[in-house]
């Protein structure tokens, strides 16, 4: 039986997901070897699976945003194919109609939906019982489009982060049952800021932004701490800006209210960042 070698870089949390997925695909978990220690939290692992299940297995890992090493042409082709599918998802027929998830629409309909979102954000559309679902699904798709566009075109990152924050602080969403949409926009802005070193400084602005949900502030602080303390030399400038600008009083205020929304690692990174900044200011 032909076997396919797969190499992943994962953190401790992802290890459980990988084992569960392997068990579902193969019924038995293959031998997993640790080939490299990346840092305290991440390792490189490799294993072999039957070739016939390697493509759906790799695509499952891709959907989970796991870091797959392109070790051969087979793996490279799957990564390239999946990237193109994601990139083309907003330029070809097959979009979901915002007010009816079972109906497919073309790119023209999607363009109309985007215009509707812009009118809503421009306070030209009010939330009513009749259009609440339309607003919810339209914004969900719009947020996803901003994320994907920035992922494949780094020149759009800054503008798309700001557009996501415009959604995250929209008062109409925060005063209705659509607060989860506002949170989602804020969390997506955090994810985009964390993807590239040149955008990491945007996390400081998100931490200080009192117009977004406080859980977004807290998660931005945790993510900033997680990133910069892994390589303080690389992020020296961002750390200096944080020492100068980060509102640690605000972080102290929101901790009790947001702790339930944070993982144990996020709480650790949040507190470590806050203590570090306060220590530097003494």
22 and 146 in one domain?
no
pLDDT average, residue stretch 162-189: 90
Q: Is residue 32 part of a domain?
A: yes
Q: Report how far residue 263's alpha carbon sits from residue 266's, in angstroms, rounded to the nearest whole number.
A: 5
Q: Is residue 93 part of a domain?
A: no
133 and 184 in one domain?
yes
- The DSSP string of 131-191 is THHHHHHHHHHHHHHHHHHHHH-GGGHHHHHHHHHHHHT-HHHHTTTTHHHHHHHHHHHHH
**Whether pLDDT at 130 is above 50:** yes
Q: Is residue 108 part of a domain?
A: no
**Whether pLDDT at 90 is above 60:** no
Q: Is residue 116 part of a domain?
A: no
| Average pLDDT score over the chain | 83
Cross-strand partners of 100: 97
The answer to whether the beta carbons of residues 96 and 104 sit under 8 Å apart is yes
Pairing of strands 42-50, 95-97: unpaired
- pLDDT tens by residue, 247-263: 999 999 999 999 999 99
Could you tell me the CATH number of the domain that includes residue 15? 3.30.70.120
Phi-psi label, residue 65: left if phi above 0, alpha if psi -120 to 50, beta otherwise:
left
More confident residue, 169 or 35: 169
More confident residue, 222 or 10: 222
Q: Which pLDDT does position 108 carry in this prediction? A: 59
**Which of 39, 64, 88 is a domain's end point?**
88
**Whether pLDDT at 105 is above 50:** no
Q: Is residue 96 part of a domain?
A: no
143 and 24 in one domain?
no
For the chain, the domain total comes to 2
270 and 217 in one domain?
yes
Q: Report how far residue 10's alpha carbon sits from residue 21's, in angstroms, rounded to the nearest whole number.
A: 14
148 and 84 in one domain?
no
- pLDDT tens by residue, 40-63: 677 888 999 889 888 888 888 877
264 and 129 in one domain?
yes
| Domain enclosing residue 275, as ranges | 125-280
Cα dihedral sign, 204-209-210-211:
negative
**Which of 31, 63, 88 is a domain's end point?**
88
- pLDDT tens by residue, 64-85: 667 788 888 888 888 777 665 5
Give 217's contacts (C-beta < 8 A, 6+ positions apart). 206, 207, 208, 209, 210, 250, 251, 254, 258
**Which of 60, 88, 116 is a domain's end point?**
88
274: confidence class by pLDDT, cuts 50, 70, 90: very high
Q: Is residue 110 part of a domain?
A: no
194 and 83 in one domain?
no
141 and 45 in one domain?
no
Is residue 28 helix, strand or coil?
A: coil
- Return the number of other C-beta atoms located less than 10 Å from residue 35's C-beta: 12
Q: Biggest alpha carbon distance in the chain? A: 65
Question: pTM, whole model, 2 decimals?
Answer: 0.63
More confident residue, 216 or 121: 216
């Amino acid at each position: 039986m032909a076997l396919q070698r797969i190499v992943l870089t994962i953190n401790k949390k992802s290890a459980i997901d990988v084992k569960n997925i392997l068990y579902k695909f193969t019924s038995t978990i293959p031998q997993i070897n640790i080939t490299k220690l990346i840092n305290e939290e991440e390792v490189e692992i490799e294993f072999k699976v039957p070739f016939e299940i390697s493509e759906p297995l790799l695509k499952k890992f891709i959907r989970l945003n796991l870091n797959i090493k392109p070790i051969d042409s087979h793996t490279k082709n799957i990564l390239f194919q999946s990237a193109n599918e994601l990139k083309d998802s907003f330029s070809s027929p097959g979009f979901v109609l915002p007010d009816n998830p079972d109906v497919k629409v073309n790119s023209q309909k999607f363009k109309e939906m985007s215009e509707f979102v812009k009118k809503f954000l421009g306070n030209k559309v009010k939330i009513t019982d009749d259009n609440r679902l339309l607003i919810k699904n339209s914004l969900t798709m719009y947020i996803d489009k901003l994320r994907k566009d920035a992922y494949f075109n780094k020149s759009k990152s800054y503008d798309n982060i700001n557009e996501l924050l415009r959604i995250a602080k929209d008062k109409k969403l925060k005063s209705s049952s659509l607060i989860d949409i506002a949170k989602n926009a804020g969390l997506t802005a955090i994810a985009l800021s964390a993807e590239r070193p040149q955008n990491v400084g945007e996390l400081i602005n998100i931490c200080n932004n009192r117009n977004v949900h406080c859980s977004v502030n807290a998660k931005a602080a945790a993510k900033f701490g997680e990133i910069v303390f892994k390589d303080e030399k690389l992020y020296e400038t961002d750390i200096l800006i944080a020492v100068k600008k980060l509102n640690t009083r605000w972080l102290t205020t929101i901790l009790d209210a947001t702790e339930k929304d944070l993982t144990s690692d996020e709480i650790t990174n949040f507190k470590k960042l806050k203590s570090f900044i306060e220590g530097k200011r003494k």
